[in-house]
Amino acid sequence: MGSYIHAGGKIGVLVEINCESDFVARTPIFQQLCHDIAMHIAALDPRYVRREEVTPEMLEKEREIYSAQARATGKPDAVIEKIVNGKMEKFYEENCLYEQHYIKDESVTIGEMISQAIVKLGENMGIRRFVRFKVGEVSASASSSSDNGTAPASA
């Protein structure tokens, strides 16, 4: 479990990163990873942990918006499809934690950071869920991931 409170105390994050043993969970490397990911969540406010959690309805809605925007440019259908696919990849990158580029090092994604930690610590791990609180918001944004790929749970 990692946490982060942003300067000024207006944004706070809790993130659950699971690993296989308490020994690994207590290492400085794991603790730093949890803190860094919580800080990243505070900054970029992802909506989902993984792309598999995005609901089909949300994907369809986004695809329709991008398609309408591309059609308005008058491009041929083949080009429109490529534009829409590119925009969908950008949607995943902006909204799915594992796809986001880490705020302190844009050359690595959060998913790659997890993979690197697995190699360093020799133990499987993954982000299970997170919640982001912002003072003044009615509800916190939350996301959870489970082994069966269910949709995120709202807080």
Domain of 117, CATH number, reads: 3.30.479.20
Q: pLDDT value at position 8?
A: 84
- 78-122: per-residue pLDDT in tens? 899 999 999 999 999 999 999 999 999 999 999 999 999 999 999
Q: Are residues 85 and 107 in the same domain?
A: no
User: Collapsing DSSP states into helix, strand and coil, what is residue 142?
Assistant: strand
Q: How many domains does the chain have?
A: 2
Say what the pTM is.
0.81
Domain of residue 61 covers 55-95
Q: Are residues 35 and 104 in the same domain?
A: yes
* Residue of 17, 53, 8 lying closest to 37 (CA atoms): 17
Q: pLDDT value at position 152?
A: 37
Q: Are residues 68 and 25 in the same domain?
A: no
